[in-house]
């Protein structure tokens, strides 16, 4: 089923990888294996194991490109492990129902590879559609800490202005108090850039496997829609993809 791939090699120190098509197709492969209970595939040759941050997201293009999950890491880690972990975690985004095996043929996977965070002096010192934004702050008159971030694409896709983006991020972090000038001045802010790539399920099949029939729907009595009995593990039921659960590292994660 999986073929022709090798463990990734280390890249030169201090360089940042760009998102490549192989990253998004690999994430779909990992998710496929996870959902079907198969061993995780080796990382494709050519994906460098740089230390960086990433976001992985899924959209369902059969439902008006609906977002189905978007999770990213807060701290830098080796890229290959991040792809394996967040391919699964993004499919289990708590804001949405978990992605199922039968949904895979309708999915598009997007991978954002982020540049290092750059501290900025003011919460509006970033360019819409170019920079992502990270905010951290402590609530006035309390010790509660908050943080949240948006990818660069959020401002471009929503058309929100900088002021609204910042207020939305403060609320996204979980803070429901008044947004005062004093609070805005107290924000710790970072900006970053990202490169992004996306792949469809069909793209993934072209790279990793011969064409597989889409999983058939089954009724409550175990019969497929054409009246035959469904055999999830039999040779005639080669469903799109499955995975072995990747252990979730105890890193904080952000959703988009």
pLDDT band at 192, cuts 50/70/90? very high
In 3-156, the DSSP E strands lie at: 51-60, 66-73, 77-78, 107-114, 118-120, 132-138, 145-150
SS3 183: helix
> H-helix or E-strand containing 255?
strand 253-255
Residue 116 has pLDDT above 90, yes or no: yes
The pLDDT of residue 254 is 63
- Using CA atoms, how far apart are residues 19 and 25, in angstroms rounded to an integer? 11
Average pLDDT, integer, range 20-35: 95
Q: Is 244 exposed, middle or buried (0-12, 13-18, 19+ CB in 10 A)?
A: middle
32 Cβ neighbours under 8 A, 6+ residues apart? 38, 104, 204, 240, 241, 242, 243
The pLDDT of residue 246 is 32
pLDDT band at 256, cuts 50/70/90? low
Residue 15 has pLDDT above 60, yes or no: no
Average pLDDT, integer, range 73-84: 94
Place of tokens 């800490």: 145
pLDDT band at 245, cuts 50/70/90? very low
Residue 179 has pLDDT above 90, yes or no: yes
Range with lowest mean pLDDT among 58-62, 76-80, 220-224: 220-224
Q: DSSP labels for 191-254?
A: EE-EEEEEEEHHHHHHHHSS--PPPPPB-TTSBBTTSSBP-TTSTT---S---PPPP--S--EE
Cβ–Cβ < 8 Å for 224, 218: yes
Average pLDDT, integer, range 69-94: 95
The pLDDT of residue 13 is 47
CA triplet 245, 246, 248: central angle to 5 degrees?
115
Average pLDDT, integer, range 208-228: 46
The pLDDT of residue 143 is 86
- Using CA atoms, how far apart are residues 87 and 35, in angstroms rounded to an integer? 11
SS3 164: helix
- Using CA atoms, how far apart are residues 238 and 176, in angstroms rounded to an integer? 48
Residue ranges covered by each domain of the chain: 21-115+194-255, 118-192
In this structure, whether the domain defined by 118-192 belongs to CATH 3.30.1490.150 is answered with yes
pLDDT band at 255, cuts 50/70/90? low
The pLDDT of residue 219 is 42
Average pLDDT, integer, range 219-237: 36
Domain 21-115+194-255 homologous superfamily, CATH: Hypothetical protein ph0010; domain 1 (3.30.700.20)
**0.85 exceeded by pTM:** no
Query: Could you tell me the CA-to-CA distances from 131 to 86, 116, 120 in Å, in that order?
Result: 22, 11, 12
Q: How many CA atoms, within 13 angstroms, populate the side-chain half-sphere of residue 93?
A: 22
Q: Provide the percentage of residues in the chain whose pLDDT is more than 90.
A: 64
pLDDT band at 7, cuts 50/70/90? very low
The pLDDT of residue 204 is 94
Please, what's the largest Cα pairwise distance for the chain?
Answer: 67
Sort strands 132-138 and 145-150 into parallel, antiparallel or unpaired: antiparallel
């Amino acid at each position: 089923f999986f073929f022709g791939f090798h463990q990734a090699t280390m890249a030169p120190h201090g360089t940042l990888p760009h998102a490549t098509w192989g990253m998004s197709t690999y994430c779909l492969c990992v998710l496929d294996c996870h959902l079907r209970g198969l061993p995780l595939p080796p990382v494709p040759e050519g994906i460098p194991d740089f230390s960086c941050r990433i976001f992985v997201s899924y959209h369902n293009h059969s439902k008006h490109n609906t977002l189905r999950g978007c999770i990213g890491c807060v701290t830098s880690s080796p890229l290959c492990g991040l792809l394996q972990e967040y391919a699964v975690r993004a499919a289990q985004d708590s804001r949405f129902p978990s992605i199922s095996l039968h949904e895979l043929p309708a999915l598009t996977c997007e991978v954002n590879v982020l540049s290092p965070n750059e501290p900025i002096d003011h919460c509006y010192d970033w360019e819409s559609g170019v920079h992502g934004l990270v905010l951290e702050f402590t609530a006035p008159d309390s010790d509660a800490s908050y943080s949240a971030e948006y990818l660069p694409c959020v401002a471009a896709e929503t058309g929100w202005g900088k002021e609204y983006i910042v207020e939305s991020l403060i609320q996204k972090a979980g803070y429901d108090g008044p947004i005062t000038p004093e609070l805005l001045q107290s924000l710790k802010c970072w900006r970053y850039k990202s490169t992004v790539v996306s792949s469809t399920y069909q793209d993934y099949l072209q790279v990793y496997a011969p064409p597989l029939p889409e999983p058939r729907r089954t009724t409550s009595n175990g019969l497929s829609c054409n009246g035959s009995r469904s055999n999830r593990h039999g040779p005639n039921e080669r469903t799109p993809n499955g995975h072995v659960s990747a252990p979730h590292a105890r890193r904080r994660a952000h959703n988009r």
